[in-house]
Amino acid sequence: MLEYRIDRRSGVATYLQIVQQTKQALRMGVLEPGDRLPTAREVVEATAINPNTVLKAYRELEREGLVEARRGLGTFVRATLGAAPATSPLRGELADWARRARETGLTRDDVAALFTSVLDEHFEGDDT
Amino acid sequence: MSGLALKGPYWVTVRQHRRALWTAGAVVLLSLVCVGGLSLWDSRVVGTDQDDGHMLLRWGMDLFSLGVIYLPLLVGAFVAGPMVARELESGTYKLALTQSVTPGRWLASKLVTAGAVTVATTLALMAVYALGLTRVAGDYQFTWDERGTYEATGTVLVAYGLLAVAVGALVGQLVRRTVVAMAATGVVIGVVLLVLSVLRWDFLAVRTITGPVGPSLLVPDAGMYVDSGLIRTTGQRLPGWYCPEPLDENGVCRPDVDIAAQYVDYHPASHFWPTQFIETGIVLALAALALLAAFRVLSRRHPS
Amino acid sequence: MSETAIEALGLAKRYGRGRGWALRDCSFALPAGRVCALVGPNGAGKSTLLALAAGLLRPTQGVVRGPARTDLAYVAQDKPLHPQLTVADTLTMGRELNPGRWDGEIAARIVETLDPGARVRRLSGGQRTRVALALALGKRPELLLLDEPMADLDPLARHELMGALMADTAERGTTVVVSSHILTELEGACDHLLLLDGGRIRLDGAIDDLLAAHTLVTGPVEDLAPHTVVESRTTGRQLTALVRNEGGPVEGPWQTTSPSLEELLLAHLRASKTADRTPEGASA
């Protein structure tokens, strides 16, 4: 079951944090079509946020066609996101690259900066 | 207590004041053990009133008479303080009055519980008192009209207990401070007891016997002495000390005073129950007034 | 959702003649199902408003219309409980005083970390809060009024109990009014706001709407007309102001951002303080 982590100090609206974390889970293959999202009750019990916030996030995900609400049953995943599940060859290549970067003596921050700059170069103008 | 199927606010009231209930029971039991034990001891020496057992029983019953009069004061103080004022003082009334029961039922459950326990305890103590009284009845200080004996052998004690419950409910709400409410209720009940103990012998007209001047007249029929003196030929009453004793056999006191007879005013023992009933009626009427006022105050503060 | 859980009309309370008004001219309507933060500085009238809503006080003026006694639960600031009862006794009391609607399971879950045989008088402040909340939630109210409920709790317990509260709201649509003078306690959990200060309501509405209705402006010191300025401060040549969005978007040499809830509250509190200082000051 997916667990949301809400950061009140991040400045990002709470419902957006839920939307983003759900999408992240879809990208990573943690959630697959047919999986049930936690109920609003389960989310708020664990996070102490307002139930309407959860419902707002789920509505947003539904609007984007990622999940569907089945009355009385819950909210279910309809589609995957991206083409990079945790087991894809791309992930293997990236892991390989990261190991080599470390062997050359780069620190974590160096690698992150490098990765971000390449990301910015190739995905310029795209939405997150 | 747990065997009783108490419901709703009654369960809460009993649970809250369990300790007071056990105490009431213990007091009754203790009095029974003391009076019963002393009576047994006294009964072993037959025919005399001067043995140790009898003296001790008398002493114990003396204390009992005193305690019986204080009983309504204790009841009133308990209802006013721990039962009512403390809830207002400590704020627990906010808890009680936001549950599903109405304020009226909340107060009623307290008063019915207190009333029932008071009546039961009073009756039990009266039974124990009656047991002890069989051995000392009629003794000096244990005649039917004596303070203590009078209260413990009739109906008035129960009525005073109920008055104390009602006054406690009223004063507790008005004062809202536990200790002050206890003291104030004690004073109110004490004053009522005192005033009525004086007034009660005016409820019924006294009986009078007259007789020729001579040796003092005796009160007949185990009656209660009220007053005595001399009567002039004009019918005017004079106090007994008017003529220094002894009077001469002609009844001449002073040449200028014509004494015709002497008199004694008294209440016969048959006045006991009528006096009890009148006093009980008055006390219950006062209790009803206090109860009405208590619920008035409650509903004014807390709409139901 | 448009059903009203509780509403007040011209509500005012004064504790005896000659004393000041604890609450004045209070009018609001809280939609059912909302979780409303009742915020304001100490002495703003929060407790008075909640006690009036709970039916424990009679208003001096005006009316407050809410659910019947059977359908509301109230936890007072000092968490009054009978000290001589045990935790288990206290829950039995809840059952006995709320026949037909008591949910022992919900109540038991909230106090499950406590010894049922422990007397209330021996409990810590936080543990008492737990018992008081268990009593309130066990009643399954339509409207739950909580006066500074989290003050005695450590952060973990606060999170857990707020979670339990939100779960109850999610499940049964309970309307909650929860007061605090610390906003961060409530942020995230609440979707409605009532800001009280000096016995008056300064701000009332859905939090999203309130945030959307204001803009935070920073930039050079210049006249912001025609916009309604809630509050503004100048430091050196820099102006910071909170304006209402009524007059359309703010055009000019300023930077505009959406305010955070905290910024919104602080601006309104500062504004109401200034208004109180000026005699018969026009409300901001």
Q: Where are the domains of chain C?
A: 4-207, 213-277
Q: Does C225 have pLDDT greater than 80? A: no
**Based on the domain organization, do A68 and A93 belong to the same domain?**
no
pLDDT digits (tens, 9 = 90+) for A50-87: 999 999 999 999 999 999 998 888 899 998 877 555 56
Look at residue A3 and tell me if it is in a domain: no
Is pTM beyond 0.90? Reply is no
Angle formed by the axes of helices B156-175 and B52-78, nearest 10°: 40
CA triplet B119, B122, B123: central angle to 5 degrees? 85
CB-based contact A8 C159, cutoff 8 Å: no
CATH number of the domain at A24, please.
Answer: 1.10.10.10
- Which residues of B fall within a CB distance of 8 Å from C72? 98
Report DSSP state, residue A36.
B
Number of structural domains found in chain A: 2
* Fold of the domain spanning C4-207: Rossmann fold (3.40.50)
Q: Does residue A9 belong to any structural domain of this protein?
A: no
Cis peptide before B239 (omega within 30 of 0): no
pLDDT at A84: 56
Instruction: List CB contacts (< 8 A) between B102 and chain C.
Output: 69
Per-residue pLDDT of C167-219, as tens digits, reads 989 999 999 999 987 777 688 899 999 999 999 999 999 999 999 999 998 88
Q: What is the pLDDT of residue C282?
A: 41
On whether both A67 and A19 belong to a single domain, the answer is yes
Answer whether residue C283 shows pLDDT above 50.
no
For residues A22 and A59, membership in a common domain is answered with yes
Residues of A in Cβ contact (< 8 Å) with C163: 44-48
What are the tokens at A2?
């997916």
Average pLDDT over residues C250-278: 83
Length in residues, chain B: 304
Residue A41: closest C-alpha in chain C: C167
- Out of A27-31, C9-13, C191-195, pick the least confident: A27-31
- What ipTM does the predicted assembly reach? 0.86
User: Is the Cβ–Cβ distance between C278 and C225 less than 8 Å?
Assistant: no
- Residue C30: what are its φ and ψ, rounded to 5°? -105, 120
Q: For residue A21, is it within any domain?
A: yes
Across the interface, do C190 and A50 touch by the CB < 8 Å criterion?
yes
Other C-beta atoms closer than 10 Å to the C-beta of B12 total 28
Domain that holds residue A29: 14-77
Residues 10-29 of B with CB under 8 A from C: 11-12, 15-16, 19
Within-domain flag for A8: no
Q: Does A75 touch chain C (CB under 8 A)?
A: no
Same domain, A39 and A93: no
Question: Are A44 and A97 found together in one domain?
Answer: no
In a domain, A1, yes or no: no
pLDDT at residue C281, as a whole number = 38
- Residue with token string 């709790």: C153
